[in-house]
Amino acid sequence: MNLEEYKGVYVFAQQVDNEISSIAFELLGKAKDLAKDLNTDVTAVLIGSGVKGLADQLAEYGADKVIVVDDPELKDYRTEPYAHALASVINKYKPEIMLVGATAIGRDLGPRVSARVATGLTADCTVLEIGDFPLQAVPGQEQLHNQLLMTRPAFGGNTIATIACPYNRPQMATVRAGVMQKITPIKGAKANVEEFNPGFTPDNKYVEILDIVKAVTNTVDIMDAKILVSGGRGVGSPENFKILEDLAEVLGGTVSCSRAVVDSGWKPKDLQVGQTGKTVRPNVYFAIGISGAIQHVAGMEESDIIIAINKDADAPIFDVADYGVVGDLNKIVPKLTEALKAEIAAAK
Amino acid sequence: MDFMLSKEHEMARALFKEFAEKEVKPLAQEVDETEVFPRGTVEKMAKLGFLGIPVPKEYGGQGCDPLTYAMCVEELSKVCGTTGVIVSAHTSLCCDPIMTFGTEEQKQKYLVPLAKGEKLGAFGLTEPGAGTDAQGQQTKAVLDGDEWVLNGSKCFITNGKEADVYVIFAITGTVEKRGRMQKEISAFIVEKGTPGFTFGTKEKKMGIRGSSTYELIFTDCRIPKDNMLGQQGKGFNIAMHTLDGGRIGIASQALGLAEGALENTIAYVKERKQFGRAIGAFQNTQFQLADMATKVEAAQLLVYKAAMAKATQKVYSVEAAKAKLYAAEVAMEVTTKAVQLHGGYGYIREYDVERMMRDAKITEIYEGTSEVQRMVISGALLK
Amino acid sequence: MKIVVCVKQVPDTAGGVKFNPDGTLDRGAMLTIMNPDDKAGLEAALRLKDQYGAEVTVVTMGLPKAEEVLREAMAMGADKGVLVTDRVLGGADTWATSTTLAGAIRNLEYDLIITGRQAIDGDTAQVGPQISEHLNIPVISYAQDIKIEGDSVVVERQYEDRYHVVKAKMPCLITALSELNEPRYMTPGGIFDAYKQEITVWGRADLKDVDDSNLGLKGSPTKIAKASDKVRKGAGEKVSLDPDESVSYIVDKLKVKHVI
């Protein structure tokens, strides 16, 4: 394998029902940074049936080039024809970096393709950067430059590892959704669009899709929620939980609560966080009017980000909060909801 | 001399622990609070063979040794004393005497469904006037044709109303012993639903509140002649032999309660802060924990030794008595200290140690009080 | 029907994580369990066995100690256990691991291979699909329901907002989600029986059609540049501001952390 032949940062531009998934734009945003560091360009690989028209959108989000693999066999996602398409693109165009979203599709496609093109794959990355391997020069070992350094949590978030793929190409990573930043779309941007069809011959590996059942969203289990807005006795009344519900709605989150709230009959037991309730680890945990009794903290201290709002500056919740705000929740929470609404509207 | 458990025993412990954590612990508080027998848990345990651990496979059991059984009761009791005693009473006090003294027909008819957990077992020896003094029995059985007719009552019966099969003791006559007339006691197997067999009041207890403790009442209760367990007049021996095994079960329950309280306390003192430090950083806490842990391990060694003795020795009364005496007193001491180290939180029901302390007390009382255990041990010393 | 189930012995992440000086995991120093998704895969296989009749062979790769998960699987009802262990296989990434397991499975007869979706230590979800690629058979990832229809499997394949009902001819590889089922417990008697059975132990020499350059640490394309424990959370910042400033403070933090 001549590593020098491999050039450019490539992104698998996932689409579902011929609509580009948000992860594709996020990957393009990151790919642009990486391409800049490597002084190369960004290519999106668009795979599907009747998807060519989507190329412009990818250009608006930062793709310099779009390779379109368009074939009726690619209508709905199936591992084999998609793996064949992406592996063929890699073999033909030889990218040095291939990014795939760590979605239910990407986490199936990525490993199958990496095994087919015989390279490494790092899963669920949260940080991607260009750097040296080894990180520090080691006597007797050549230090390689311009390597993709892929950082990812492991062991349920107990550890962080940075991985390189120094002697194989492409350097492949699946990237966790919601971590990388999209660029502000450049209206009217155009990419160099190239069509490529490696030919699709169904064999035993082509599975048959008998049915597609779209899920109806039902109530979220607080243990699955990415954002929890949790209230304690400090919220004051069951009616006042409305301001927490409003905040949760803006962020696409879910309301949970402390034991005191359940004991008071304000909320049902299945929303209770803590030793005698549920253990949660959302990306963001708002502790609002929760003092932070030890039994509550035991159920939420593993959350990625803890934001506490409490009027008592000595409340133990501040010992575990990343960001603590001492103040009146009745004044802060409604304003926060409004401010976030405005921010989210502006970002659209 | 080897203090290492075999890999099989380690894995069995892991199984019991996982089951206890997942299936039993979440219900422990509610079971205590509502005093409702955990029927669902018993059904789950039945499916997994937990109700026939030391019973041979040919009788529907798991074919494991008494140590495996003791570890099961221990792990269950770590999280719920009620669940521990349900298994102990069923296995030690009902399966075991039928296994040891039953006829082949009795084993097929009663032991197999008991070991499979299709039926639950109980044991009736204690009467209002016959506790430690088991000879003070009043319940009588009179042979009438092909049937024994039972009259009398039994009290404080674990698994009382929930069981299906009962091992019951009754007076079947008098015998002369060393020139004195003594009651002749025999053992019987009685099925729930037998006409004349009814239940009295449900006891409201300090601890193990989910276990079903009832008075059993026999009024002209007629059972088949074949339901006598063992030989006529051997009832006292059967009872004493059964209680030797039962004490290993209760010792395991006590051990589990002490271990559970210790584990809870260790976790608590790491988290609880006073004067700006975790209370585990204070030497008083550290020394208390050291004493508790040492006694718990000593209790475990005695319990496991007694369980091994049951597997290898014909008589193990002294081993069982020592294990039960020590484990029960350690359970009481450790749970009390655990409550103290929890401070005010230890006194409220939100925290498990409060329940564990209440549950622990009974282990010093039932299946032979600590005083009875001392009698057994000293009796052997001064023989 | 013959089913091969791949299981992994993983550190119980509740017990803390330890590393060797070279950045690889010090697996010997941690408490271990059978990986939860793999256990769901095993349960799925055992249910197929209960329903259709099957011989279930469990394969694991790891240290000699990994024998424990095979015993556990047999105590749950699996028929045979294969332990793949060899010094030269140590330090493998997903590529080298999948190469090794494929090399072992080539020695076995199978209609169905079931793996867990992902292991709780690495969380990569890669080994299952990569094994299927090495064996040139179809893969259905993220299975939430499995049925057998003649010589095919019909699987509900989960996605974020939908599921596909997918039919594949056997042999086929399926990756199981822990949501697939509630794995059965072992039985006490089953444990003692499992320890009476023989376990097959294979080393490097027993792997079929595998090149040395694809095995172990040396054969792993991905290399660990740095690994570290995540620092346990302590108190973070605490501010006391007026309501409007408090709101902008929180909004800023959410932006920095890419929540919005």
- CATH number, residue A103: 3.40.50.620
Contact: A316, B273; criterion CB under 8 Å: yes
What is the DSSP code string of B313-330?
-S--HHHHHHHHHHHHHH
Catalytic one among B74, B75, B127, B367? B367
Number of domains in chain C: 1
Specify the long-range contacts of residues C18-21, CB closer than 8 Å, at least 24 apart.
C19/A159, C19/C227
Let me know whether A165 and A251 are in one domain. Answer: no
Stretch C178-196: mean pLDDT: 92
Stretch B149-156: mean pLDDT: 97
Domain that holds residue C63: 2-214
A297 touches chain B (CB under 8 A): yes
- Distance to chain B for A294, nearest Cα, Å: 7
- pLDDT of amino acid A35: 97
- pLDDT of amino acid C143: 93
Q: Write out chain A residues lying below 8 Å of C101, CB-based.
A: none
Stretch A207-232: mean pLDDT: 84
pTM value is 0.82
CB pairs A-C closer than 8 Å: 256
- Nearest residue, CB atoms, A336 vs list C137, C230, C247: C247
Q: Write out chain B residues lying below 8 Å of A294, CB-based.
A: 268, 271-272
Q: Please say if the pLDDT value at position C33 is more than 60.
A: yes
- pLDDT of amino acid C12: 74
Nearest CA in chain C to A111: C126
- pLDDT of amino acid C27: 63
- Nearest residue, CB atoms, A207 vs list C123, C136, C167: C167
Domain that holds residue A27: 3-195
Nearest CA in chain A to B25: A276
Give a yes or no: residue A92 inside a domain.
yes
Q: Report how far residue A245's alpha carbon sits from residue A250's, in angstroms, rounded to the nearest whole number.
A: 9
Residue C58, class by beta-carbon neighbours within 10 Å (0-12 exposed, 13-18 middle, 19+ buried)? buried
Let me know whether A33 and A181 are in one domain. Answer: yes
Instruction: Note whether A41 and A102 are within 8 A (CB).
Output: no
Contact: B11, C187; criterion CB under 8 Å: no
- Distance to chain B for C5, nearest Cα, Å: 21
Q: Crossing angle, helix B352-363 and helix B235-271, to 10 degrees?
A: 160
The model's pLDDT over B281-302, given as tens digits with 9 standing for 90+, comes to 999 999 999 999 999 999 999 9
Let me know whether A183 and A254 are in one domain. Answer: no
Let me know whether A185 and A231 are in one domain. Answer: no
Give a yes or no: residue A203 inside a domain.
no
- Nearest residue, CB atoms, A120 vs list C121, C165, C221: C221
Nearest CA in chain C to B23: C185
Interface test with A, best of C164, C172, C179, C220 (most A CBs within 10 A): C164
Could you tell me which residues of chain B have a Cβ less than 8 Å from any Cβ in chain A?
29, 268, 271-273, 350
C254 touches chain A (CB under 8 A): yes
- pLDDT of amino acid C7: 97
C134 touches chain B (CB under 8 A): no
Q: Write out chain C residues lying below 8 Å of A167, CB-based.
A: 221
Contact: A298, B350; criterion CB under 8 Å: no
Nearest CA in chain C to B47: C187
- pLDDT of amino acid A260: 86
The model's pLDDT over A68-99, given as tens digits with 9 standing for 90+, comes to 999 999 999 999 999 999 999 999 999 999 99
- pLDDT of amino acid A216: 61
Nearest CA in chain A to B278: A294
Tell me, what CATH number does C73's domain have? 3.40.50.620
- pLDDT of amino acid A156: 59
Q: Write out chain A residues lying below 8 Å of C224, CB-based.
A: 161-163
Interface test with B, best of C69, C184, C191 (most B CBs within 10 A): C191
Let me know whether A278 and A182 are in one domain. Answer: no
- Distance to chain A for B271, nearest Cα, Å: 7
What is the DSSP code string of B144-208?
ETTEEEEEEEEEEETTTTT-SEEEEEEEEEEEEETTEEEEEEEEEEEETT-TTEEEEEEPP-SS-
- Nearest residue, CB atoms, A207 vs list C17, C168, C222: C168
DSSP state of B102: -
The model's pLDDT over B39-73, given as tens digits with 9 standing for 90+, comes to 999 999 999 999 999 999 999 999 999 999 999 99
Give C 148-167 residues with CB within 8 A of chain A.
154, 158-167
Q: Which helix (H) or strand (E) holds A4?
A: none
Residue A331 CA, chain-centre distance (Å), reads 33
CB pairs A-B closer than 8 Å: 10
B neighbour chains, 3+ CB pairs within 8 Å = A, C
Q: Please say if the pLDDT value at position A275 is more than 90.
A: no
Stretch C70-91: mean pLDDT: 96
One-letter amino acid identity for B131? G
Tell me, what CATH number does A335's domain have? 3.40.50.1220
Q: Please say if the pLDDT value at position C25 is more than 70.
A: no
Interface test with A, best of B350, B351, B352 (most A CBs within 10 A): B350
A223 falls in which pLDDT band (50, 70, 90)?
confident
Give a yes or no: residue C226 inside a domain.
no
Give a yes or no: residue A213 inside a domain.
no
Q: Write out chain B residues lying below 8 Å of C192, CB-based.
A: 8, 12, 62-64, 68
Nearest CA in chain B to C31: B14
The model's pLDDT over B321-340, given as tens digits with 9 standing for 90+, comes to 999 999 999 999 999 999 99
For A39, residues 6+ apart whose C-beta sits below 8 A from its C-beta are none
Give a yes or no: residue A207 inside a domain.
no
Stretch A27-38: mean pLDDT: 97
C neighbour chains, 3+ CB pairs within 8 Å = A, B
pLDDT above 70 covers a percentage of chain A that reads: 97
DSSP state of B142: E
Q: How many Cβ atoms from other residues are within 10 Å of residue C218's Cβ?
A: 12
Q: Please say if the pLDDT value at position C200 is more than 80.
A: yes
- Distance to chain C for A192, nearest Cα, Å: 31
Last residue of a domain, one of A195, A212, A243: A195
C22 falls in which pLDDT band (50, 70, 90)?
low
Q: Report how far residue B34's alpha carbon sits from residue C39's, in angstroms, rounded to the nearest whole number.
A: 35
Give a yes or no: residue A214 inside a domain.
no
Contact: C189, B8; criterion CB under 8 Å: no
Q: Please say if the pLDDT value at position C230 is more than 60.
A: no
Q: Write out chain A residues lying below 8 Å of B272, CB-based.
A: 294
The counts of H helices and E strands in chain C are 6, 13
Q: Please say if the pLDDT value at position C24 is more than 80.
A: no
Task: Let me know if B367 is a catalytic residue.
Answer: yes
Q: Write out chain C residues lying below 8 Å of B7, CB-based.
A: 68, 71, 195
Q: Please say if the pLDDT value at position C31 is more than 60.
A: yes
- Nearest residue, CB atoms, A208 vs list C123, C126, C166: C166
Stretch A130-147: mean pLDDT: 94
Stretch B3-28: mean pLDDT: 95
Interface test with B, best of C76, C192, C193, C197 (most B CBs within 10 A): C192
For B68, residues 6+ apart whose C-beta sits below 8 A from its C-beta are B9, B12, B53, B54, B62, C188, C192
Buried b (16+ CB within 10 A) or exposed e, C21-56: eebebebeebebbbbbbbbbbbbbbbbbbeeeebbb
Tokens of B78: 């770590």
- Distance to chain C for B95, nearest Cα, Å: 17
Number of domains in chain A: 2
Instruction: Note whether B206 and B188 are within 8 A (CB).
Output: no
Whose structure tokens read 């057994």?
Answer: B376
Let me know whether A252 and A158 are in one domain. Answer: no
In the predicted model, what is the mean pLDDT of chain C? 91
ipTM of this complex: 0.91
Nearest CA in chain A to C224: A163
Q: Crossing angle, helix B7-19 and helix C67-76, to 10 degrees?
A: 60
SS3 state at B278? strand
Contact: C124, A321; criterion CB under 8 Å: no
More confident site: A295 or C244: C244
Nearest alpha-carbon partner for C204 in C24, C69, C61, C80: C61
Give a yes or no: residue A10 inside a domain.
yes
- pLDDT of amino acid C123: 78
A neighbour chains, 3+ CB pairs within 8 Å = B, C
